[in-house]
Amino acid sequence: MGTRVVIDPITRIEGHLRIEVEIENGKVKDAWSSGTMFRGFEIFMRDRDPRDAWYITQRVCGVCTTVHALTSVLCVENAIGIEVPDNARLIRNLIMGSQYLHDHIVHFYHLHALDWVDVVNALKADPKKTAELAHAINPHSQRSGEGDFQAVQDRVKAFVNAGQLGPFDNAYWGHPAYRLPPEADLMAVSHYLDALTLQAKAARMHAVFGGKNPHPQSYVVGGMTCVQDLTPDRLAEFIYLMKETVDFAQNVYIPDLLAVAPFYKEWAGIGGGVGNYLAYGMLPENTKDDPNNLFFPRGVVMNRDLGNPQKLDQAKIMEHVAHSFYEGAAPRHPSVGETKPYFTGINTADKDGKYSWLKSPRYDGKAMEVGPLARLVVGYAAGHKQIKAAVDGTLKQLGLPATILFSTLGRTAARGIETKVMADKMQQWVDELLANIKRGDLSTFASYKMPDRASGFGMTEAPRGALGHWIDIRGGLIHNYQLVVPTTWNGSPRDATGQRGAFEEALVGTPVHDPKKPLEILRTIHSFDPCLACSVHVIDPKTNEVHVTKAA
Amino acid sequence: MSGVKDQVKLLTSVDRREFMGLCAQISVVLGLGNDMVPKIAEALEAAARKPSIIWLHFQECTGDSEAFLRTTSPSVAELVLDVLSIDYHETIMAASGDQAEQNLAKAIKENKGKYLVVCEGAIPLATPPGPAGLKGGYLTIGNKTGLQIAEEVCRDAAAVICVGNCSSYGGVQAQRPNPTGAVGVGEALGIKTVNIPACPHNPVNSIATIVNYLLLGTLPPTDRFGRPLFAYEERIHDQCTRRSHFDAGQFVTEWGSEEAKKGFCLYKMGCKGPQTYNNCNKARYNDHTGWPIGAGHGCVGCSEPKFWDTMSPFYKRLDNIEVPFGGVEATADKVGLVLTGAAVAGAAVHAVYTFNKKKEHEERIIDREKKEGK
């Protein structure tokens, strides 16, 4: 019997997550992932106006607000069978692109970097050498002169000397798993602070078309309301913010990622997890509601087999509750699921015990990983031109084979590669939008009549993975509404067959130097970018019917 | 030590300008004059020991943290490093698990009676069914319920500030039928909290509240719902950029229409501005980039208690209002025929809104005067 370690709360994530591991001979032997909060969205969605669904479901998550808003309007538009104007599609794509640039930068610097970067060690760095290092990595890196690094080091020193470490207090500084030389640490700390400022600006991109961020307020079923923002000054504001953010991504974020990765090459062999990848795809290239029109493809790759991409069949999605705080044990398709809360307290000692408010979605009976890595794996296997070029280019720069992708390091690298693909694509949408406006096309809304009865679904990709909403409308009101979200896939507990979820499987084999300071566990968990609030939800307990939804 | 400090100030002079920008913005929001800007800066800098902030997350989506972290002037880096001592905040802190819990315990012990608690998210009070069902069991962190944590941490705080509608009034999860028994922190603990509602809250208002505390040593006067008057005394409708169109009876009746392009009033699209108290249009969001009505969408009333139930469906126009002269709808439908008549009717409708709100408004003023000791 190994040592049991519980980490609760896991910090630098969204929501409430508890991780328990069993450590034997310096490695994780087994793991249990628990979501510890329940809110009941599907219960209070019932009997509301379907046009309000996007506004309510957006509150499922304050991080990917805009993605839930989008998925929800897609879902209702799919149900009532309408097509939105091209401008609405382009504005939605641009907001989505902004979300990715913002989210991946924040994840890398503010939620993940401190797992790899020792802030205290940065105080030992020579600012001149740090500037040389930054210049060698990328001569266009911003705020990376000797004086810049000196200023940051002085600032951090003054901060440490003042004795109030605030958010940096009591972390794992000095842990032997930190490998960066002081100069690289100082560079990263400096860019951590720059990214803190930059991300606030990047969020303003959403606010140009969304009124505010987080929780934008310009989506509606049928299109977008921000018709007054299609003016030269507002578009210029967006373009300016976009260029500044893209510049940061290309000249600071991605170079930093490439600079830090070589120090942690062993992490290319750790944290691979379940090895099955699922992506719903995203970003329509035209206004037709058809998965073949998506820029990022929809599909499935099983057993790391890049040579055998499969089409996604949503009928193969089943949710298990054997180890979740709900009654029952039989797996069900989300559209016929039932949920009766049954709280047993966390029980991981008993192999049949329940330990999470998350359910366990499985595809074709298999645990799946979703997220940036899954999107790249699915796109790569499908031979997607831009994804393939970006992946191959990055691997070449790192001098690593494609197999490194299936790991903790690969997951973190995938986010940077995806940022590059997204940044390159955004200019094209801006150009298309401008061309439409030049032609005098300012249309942003398609009118419709809410039917008495309809059902449908919306699927897209949150930065942290595949997101699907399902709706059933009766009497013009929401009869049933369901969400299957990224972290439910990744953070799920075991299913009825005992198969671990993606977090749990990825932790198995992770080396842990000191069980009291489980830094390595955080590395793998954070590489998924967990987002728990959306993951715990329930299906209406009264519903028990099969819904006929349109083919995926 | 002072040498290092001066050097830091010099080297971060660009940030100083941004910092003064924040002070100016706060001065506006608090309704103070320009001459107060340097005093605000001084108050923020003078604190020998930065005020300890403990930020708690309950039933929430992290939207209020996200909003807080997106303040642009000054950079949030300055706020986090130089102005406040954010001793516990699960979204940004480096420590996890046991180490994180130690930080919380330490902050409470060392700053007893002096720390500020910022709460995000509602507290579930219901008991989940099942053998381990305990009150508030729908949320546990480190084996404690959200309710237990709130009680422990808020007990010795100088003040409890609730950001967002969830911690203020229960928020999204408290809408009918409220399956987890979610309530705001004040209600859960039976204590008085300063509430900065909206969904999410505007960080300018939370920072201004903290500045008010640093500057004057007191919390700002509030209305009967615990909302600071500096931000929540006026209705959205009172200061709306589309107000002249309301008064002229010019309304949007379809998204993306010619009327929408001209910025006509959104009342007929369900705007709840006439019943919503907030300073969105004065403060705007994301460094003044926008606000919902600016983006062509009606206000949904997110700073009001129970707005999820009382203000929805969001696209249905307000109907609990007495409308003179045949009704605003009839009047608005005739816009273009008798524009002058419409304008008169619009103004009259507004007078009725005001009349209906007068009693409530008077109560708010009484609340404020009580606070100020008048």
- What single string gives the DSSP state of each residue in B72-92? TTTTHHHIIIII-EEEEETTT
- pLDDT at site A552: 30
Dist CA A347 CA A355 (whole Å)? 5
Q: What is the pLDDT of residue B321?
A: 52
User: Is B7 part of the contact surface with chain A (CB cutoff 8 Å)?
Assistant: yes
Do B85 and A61 count as a contact with CB atoms less than 8 A apart? no
Determine contact, residues A95/A151, Cβ cutoff 8 Å: no
Is the pLDDT score of B6 beyond 50? no
| A228 inside 8 A of chain B by CB | yes
Q: Which residues of B touch A522 (CB under 8 A)?
A: 96
Checking if the pLDDT of B359 tops 70, the result is no
pLDDT in tens, A175-197: 999 999 999 999 999 999 999 88
The pLDDT of residue A96 is 98
Whole-angstrom distance, CA of residue A405 vs CA of residue A411: 7
pLDDT tens by residue, B169-220 = 999 999 999 999 999 999 999 999 999 999 999 998 998 898 888 777 889 9
Please report the pLDDT score of residue A532 as a whole number.
83
Is the pLDDT score of A540 beyond 90? Answer: no
For residue A535, the Cα-to-chain-centroid distance in whole angstroms is 12
Report the SS3 class of residue B117: strand
| pLDDT (average), residues A250-260 | 95
The CA distance from B349 to A362, in Å, is: 56
Model confidence at A501: pLDDT above 90: yes
Residue A391: which region, alpha, beta or left (left: phi > 0; alpha: psi -120 to 50)? Answer: alpha
pLDDT at B365: 43
Q: CA-CA distance, B127 to B135, in Å (whole number)?
A: 4
Question: Which residues in chain A touch residue B80, judged by CB atoms under 8 angstroms apart?
Answer: 166-167, 196
Give chain B's mean pLDDT: 82
Interface list for A 329-358 with B (CB within 8 A): 340-345
pLDDT at position A304, please? 96
| pLDDT of res. A215 | 96
Does position A27 have pLDDT exceeding 50, yes or no? yes
> Span B217-242, mean pLDDT?
93
B61, B94, B96: residue with CB nearest A62 = B61
Question: Which is it for strands B52-57 and B85-89: parallel, antiparallel or unpaired?
Answer: parallel
* Confidence (pTM): 0.91
Q: Which helix (H) or strand (E) holds A120?
A: none
pLDDT confidence bin for B73, thresholds 50/70/90: low
**CA–CA separation, B331 and B341 (whole Å):** 8
Residues of A with CB below 8 A from B313's CB?
48-49, 51-52
Q: Which pLDDT score, from 0 to 100, does residue B335 have?
A: 43
For A132, the token pair is: 């040389």
> What pLDDT, on a 0 to 100 scale, did the predictor assign at position B208?
86
> How sure is the predictor about B62, in pLDDT bands with cuts at 50, 70 and 90?
very high
Residue contact B179–A147, C-beta within 8 A: no
DSSP state string for A305-320: -TT--B---GGGEEEE
pLDDT for the residue numbered A538: 41
A387 contacts A394 by C-beta, under 8 angstroms: no
- Of the candidates A169, A208, A217, the beta carbon closest to that of B95 is on A169
Question: What's the rounded Cα separation, in Å, for the pair B189 and B177?
Answer: 22
Task: Write down the pLDDT at residue A549.
Answer: 27
Query: In this predicted model, what pLDDT tens digit does every residue of A96-123 receive, in sequence order?
Result: 999 999 999 999 999 999 999 999 999 9
Q: How is B124-191 classified by DSSP, letter by letter?
A: E-S--SSTT--TTTTBEETTEEHHHHHHHHHTT-SEEEEEHHHHHH-GGGGSTT-TT-EE-HHHHHT-
pLDDT exceeds cutoff 80 at A451: yes
Return the pLDDT at A402.
84
At B20 the pLDDT is 74
Cα of A57 to nearest chain B Cα, Å: 9
**Measured between CB atoms, does B85 come within 8 Å of chain A?**
yes
DSSP state of A528: T
> Can you read off the two tokens belonging to residue A17?
């997550």
**pLDDT at residue A542 tops 50:** no
Least confident of A66-70, A354-358, B320-324: B320-324
**pLDDT for A283-312, tens place per residue?**
999 999 899 999 999 999 999 999 999 999
pLDDT tier, B356 (very low <50, low <70, confident <90, very high otherwise): low
Alpha-carbon gap, residue B253 to B105, rounded angstroms: 55
Measured between beta carbons, which residues in chain B are less than 8 angstroms from residue A154? Answer: 4, 7-8, 11
DSSP annotation of B274: G
Q: Is B3 in the A-facing interface, judged by CB distances under 8 Å?
A: no
Min distance B103 CA to chain A CA atoms (Å): 7
Please name which of B189, B182, B195 lies closest in space to residue B152, comparing C-alpha atoms.
Answer: B189
The continuous run of DSSP H or E covering B57 comes out as: strand B52-57
CA–CA separation, A301 and A377 (whole Å): 7
A116/B contact by beta carbon, under 8 A: no
When CB atoms are compared, the residue of B77, B106, B257 closest to A197 is B77
Distance CA A490, CA A496 (A): 16
Q: Burial letters for B316-349: b for 16+ Cβ neighbours within 10 Å, e otherwise? A: ebbeeeebeeeebeebbeebeeeeeebbbbbebb
Report, as an integer, the average pLDDT of B147-173: 97
When mean pLDDT is compared across A92-101, A298-307, B4-13, B145-154, the lowest value belongs to B4-13
Residue A354 has pLDDT above 50, yes or no: yes
Q: How far is A309 from chain B (nearest CA, A)?
A: 35
Per the prediction, chain A carries an average pLDDT of: 92
Interface of A with B in 472-501 (CB under 8 A): none
| The predicted structure's pLDDT at residue B65 | 93
Q: Do A218 and B292 touch (CB under 8 A)?
A: yes
| Mutate: best of B69, B289, B302, B315, partner A, most A CBs <10 A | B289
Question: Which two structure tokens, joined as six digits, stand for A162?
Answer: 């003042």
Please report, to the nearest 10 degrees, the dihedral formed by the alpha carbons of residues A90, A96, A102, A108 taken in order.
Answer: -130
Q: How confident is the model at residue B320 (pLDDT cuts 50, 70, 90)?
A: low
Write b or e for each residue in B5-21: b if 16 or more Cβ atoms lie within 10 A of its Cβ, otherwise e.
eeebbebbeebeebbbe
Quote the Cα angle for A195-A201-A203, to 5°: 100
Answer yes or no: do B80 and A196 touch at CB < 8 A: yes
pLDDT at B28: 75
CA distances from B285 to A212, B26, B66, B294 (A): 5, 14, 13, 11
CB-CB: which of B7, B77, B130 is closest to A196?
B77
For residue B329, is pLDDT > 70? Answer: no
- Confidence band, pLDDT 50/70/90 cuts, at residue A551: very low
Span B112-136, average pLDDT:
95
pLDDT exceeds cutoff 90 at B338: no
Percent of chain A with pLDDT over 90: 82
In this prediction, residue A131 carries a pLDDT of: 96
- Do B4 and A9 count as a contact with CB atoms less than 8 A apart? no
